[in-house]
């Protein structure tokens, strides 16, 4: 897996993941919607930590400037 997530993309994903987790754990978003958003936050966090997003790879998007698309 080649890295395809740049630093700005990574920061945005982490901020969104934390925001979704806070919304869920404070009870602002509950039920099925809360669980779905919490799962989405987990996916965002995981992709940020491994620096690879399968969706970006499918569409040929690469926000990482260190490892440009070839």
Tens-level pLDDT at each residue, the chain (70 residues): 889 999 999 999 999 999 999 999 999 999 999 999 999 999 999 999 999 999 999 999 999 886 555 5
Tally of helices (H runs) and strands (E runs) in the chain:
3, 0
Q: 0.95 exceeded by the pTM?
A: no
Q: Torsion angle, CA of 13/32/28/37, rounded to 10 degrees?
A: 0
Which of 45, 56, 4 shows the shortest CA–CA distance to 21?
Answer: 45
Give the model's pLDDT for residue 1: 80
- Hey, where are the domains in the chain? 7-53
Give the model's pLDDT for residue 2: 87
Give the model's pLDDT for residue 67: 53
């Amino acid at each position: 897996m080649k890295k395809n997530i740049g630093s700005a993309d990574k920061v945005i994903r982490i901020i969104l993941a934390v925001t979704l987790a806070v919304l869920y754990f404070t009870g602002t978003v509950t039920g099925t919607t809360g669980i779905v958003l919490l799962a989405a936050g987990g996916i965002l966090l995981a992709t940020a930590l491994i620096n690879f997003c399968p969706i970006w790879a499918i569409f040929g998007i690469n926000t990482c400037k260190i490892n440009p698309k070839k």
